[in-house]
């Protein structure tokens, strides 16, 4: 196949040492394109280019940063249908979800374009006479960005946009499975007027390109989203050389449904939160903790709702759930379905491989009932269209079960009681709490992140992103 998609380094499009194919999970006969793969030497060249460009970009004006970020936002939004289709074709989320994600990426760049005009510091009187104190935020330098496959454009956007906004140079390594959206975004960024070397795309293996970022002394900070296992490697490498880092990792997010919940709202929250985007969201509601009075009605209604979900080609009109992203994720989902059955949980619906017009990784949404919170299906992140229902006797037990997890990304409750909603917001152990809303689905202008094993370091997105992408300097002057 011709038209090899290349890496972008020091302002030039360049081929790497290898090639990878981007395959459509809805139709494995459909190869979207071929993408180059960097080796460690090329990753080092990208880091050198970023290092060389960083000082000048650190001194760029707010207007220059605004202009570049706004231009990127405008083009993403103008092409959201086309880019959304590419995203759905390579990742497998439905077309409305793909277009929605692209829209969000455009909005994020617009938000940080505005933030570039609002850079500020503090000037204070000293506690000593005649001295002025100034507190300013400075760029950290070269930021290494490593992203997962499940949000191929939104996660790159929410890391690249603030990095550039706060005056950093970027080396960006997207996930191997979804180079298409990353490449299209990089092409837009490449034409935004940024000086050469400020932004670099380095597609390639995590163990090669990612490792080079982690271990290179000229990468001043690493922002990572992905699995816990890789996150631990990132942490160990960064601590070893005292580099700044930020991790967003897995979840095992609970949705509590109380007896007084609106049943329709609760079923919709569970169906959306657990199964939209094929359950492949770090914020997916994979544990449904339901109090006894509503348990049976909830299980019956959710089972019906899931049986009716249309599972088909992600880009086909009417599809409500696309395929699983690839064979290895499908194997993981199927293995957990077997584990759940072996552990004694009952599969109420789904978990079956189904055939469609094209060869793809089609799995029906799986719901376990009669499960307990100590089962592996309730403790480990599956990252597929699989959720389990756990019965609780009352609110107190439901809250305790919800918090009994190593993760702490998102949590939710469905209730019509202000008392329980308020108590839950205060006592739920998670970075994001939802009341009568799915655990997945967040705004782009407010902080995103979790507690416990889900996250490490400062929050992403909104004005809170400044914590990671800047370093604080305190200057004292005796005039």
Active site residues: 248, 282
User: Is residue 220 near ligand NAD by the rule CB under 6 A?
Assistant: no
In whole angstroms, how far apart are CA 368 and each of 288, 338, 341, 431, 440? 10, 11, 9, 26, 20
CB nearer ligand NAD, residue 172 or residue 298:
172
- Piece of 132-140, 168-176, 312-320, 370-378 that binds ligand NAD (CB under 6 A): 168-176
* Binder among 30, 64, 176, 380 for ligand NAD (CB under 6 A): 176
User: Is residue 206 near ligand NAD by the rule CB under 6 A?
Assistant: yes
Residues 25, 385: Cα–Cα separation, whole Å: 15
Residues 240-259 within binding reach of ligand NAD (CB under 6 A): 248-251
Which residues are CB-contacts of 321 (< 8 A; sequence separation ≥ 6)? 94, 275, 276, 278, 309, 310, 311, 365, 385
User: Is residue 66 near ligand NAD by the rule CB under 6 A?
Assistant: no
CB nearer ligand NAD, residue 61 or residue 328:
328
Binding mask 388-417 for ligand NAD (x = CB under 6 A): ---------------------x--------
- Piece of 100-108, 224-232, 307-315, 355-363 that binds ligand NAD (CB under 6 A): 224-232
Written as six digits, the tokens of 386 are 């699989």
CB 366 within 8 A of CB 386: yes
What is the nearest approach in angstroms of ligand NAD to the Cβ of residue 6?
Answer: 18
User: Is residue 212 near ligand NAD by the rule CB under 6 A?
Assistant: no
For residue 349, list its beta bridge partners: 367
Residues 121, 466: Cα–Cα separation, whole Å: 12
* Binder among 282, 288, 413, 428 for ligand NAD (CB under 6 A): 282
Pairing relationship of beta strands 18-24 and 122-125 according to DSSP bridges: unpaired
* Binder among 79, 85, 233, 356 for ligand NAD (CB under 6 A): 233
* Binder among 38, 72, 175, 306 for ligand NAD (CB under 6 A): 175
Q: How many CB atoms lie within 10 A of CB 433?
A: 18
User: Is residue 104 near ligand NAD by the rule CB under 6 A?
Assistant: no
User: Which secondary-structure segment (H or E) carries 53?
Assistant: helix 40-58
CB 272 within 8 A of CB 94: no
CB nearer ligand NAD, residue 233 or residue 452:
233
What is the nearest approach in angstroms of ligand NAD to the Cβ of residue 477?
Answer: 41
* Binder among 226, 279, 408, 412 for ligand NAD (CB under 6 A): 226
Task: For residue 255, give the nearest of 414, 403, 55 by alpha carbon.
Answer: 414
CB nearer ligand NAD, residue 175 or residue 348:
175
* Binder among 34, 187, 211, 352 for ligand NAD (CB under 6 A): 211
Please measure the distance between the N-terminal and C-terminal CA atoms of the chain and give it in whole angstroms.
67
User: Is residue 465 near ligand NAD by the rule CB under 6 A?
Assistant: no
Number of Cα atoms under 13 Å in the Cβ half of residue 449: 24
Cα angle vertex 275, ends 274, 280, to 5°? 90
- For the CA atoms of 151, 175, 144, 120, the dihedral, rounded to the nearest 10 degrees, stands at -10
Rule CB under 6 A: which residues touch ligand NAD?
A: 146-151, 173, 175-176, 206-207, 210-211, 214, 225-227, 230, 233, 248-251, 282, 381, 383, 409, 454
């Amino acid at each position: 196949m011709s038209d090899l998609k290349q890496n972008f380094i020091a302002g030039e499009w360049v081929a790497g040492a290898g090639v990878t194919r981007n395959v459509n999970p809805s139709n494995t006969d459909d190869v979207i394109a071929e993408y180059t793969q960097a080796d460690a030497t090329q990753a080092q060249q990208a880091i050198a280019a970023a290092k060389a460009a960083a000082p000048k970009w650190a001194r760029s004006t707010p207007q220059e940063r605004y202009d570049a970020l706004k231009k990127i936002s405008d083009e993403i939004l103008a092409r959201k249908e086309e880019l959304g289709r590419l995203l759905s074709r390579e990742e497998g989320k439905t077309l409305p979800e793909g277009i929605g994600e692209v829209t969000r990426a455009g909005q994020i760049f617009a938000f940080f374009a505005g933030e570039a005009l609002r850079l500020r510091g503090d000037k204070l009187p000293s506690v000593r006479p005649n001295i002025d104190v100034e507190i300013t935020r400075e760029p950290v330098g070269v930021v290494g960005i490593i992203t997962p496959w499940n949000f191929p454009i939104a996660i790159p956007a929410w890391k690249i946009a603030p990095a550039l906004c706060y005056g950093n140079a970027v080396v960006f390594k997207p996930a191997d499975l979804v180079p298409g959206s990353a490449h299209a975004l990089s092409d837009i960024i490449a034409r935004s007027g940024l000086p050469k070397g400020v932004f670099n795309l380095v597609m390639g293996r995590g163990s090669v390109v990612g490792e080079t970022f982690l271990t290179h002394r000229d990468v001043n900070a690493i922002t990572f989203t992905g699995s816990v296992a890789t996150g631990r490697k990132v942490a160990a490498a960064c601590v070893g050389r005292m580099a700044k880092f930020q991790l967003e990792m897995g979840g095992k997010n609970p949705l509590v449904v109380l007896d007084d919940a609106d049943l329709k709202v609760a079923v919709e929250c569970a169906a959306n939160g657990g199964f939209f985007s094929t359950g492949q969201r770090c914020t997916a509601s994979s544990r449904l903790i339901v109090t006894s009075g509503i348990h049976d009605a909830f299980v019956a209604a959710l089972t019906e709702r899931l049986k009716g979900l249309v599972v088909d080609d992600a880009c086909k009109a009417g599809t409500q759930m696309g395929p699983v992203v690839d064979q290895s994720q499908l194997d993981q989902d199927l293995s957990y379905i077997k584990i759940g059955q072996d552990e004694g949980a009952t599969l109420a619906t789904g978990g079956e491989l189904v055939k469609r017009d094209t060869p793809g990784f089609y799995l029906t949404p799986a719901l376990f009932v009669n499960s307990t919170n100590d089962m592996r299906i309730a403790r480990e992140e599956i990252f597929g269209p699989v959720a389990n229902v756990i019965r609780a006797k009352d609110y107190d037990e439901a809250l305790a079960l919800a918090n009994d997890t190593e993760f702490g990304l998102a949590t939710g409750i469905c209730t019509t009681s202000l008392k329980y909603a308020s108590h839950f917001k205060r006592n739920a152990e998670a970075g994001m709490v939802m009341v009568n809303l799915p655990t997945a689905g967040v705004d782009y202008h407010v902080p995103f992140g979790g507690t416990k094993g889900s996250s490490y370091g400062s929050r992403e997105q909104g004005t809170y992103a400044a914590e990671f992408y800047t370093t604080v300097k305190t200057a004292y002057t005796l005039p």
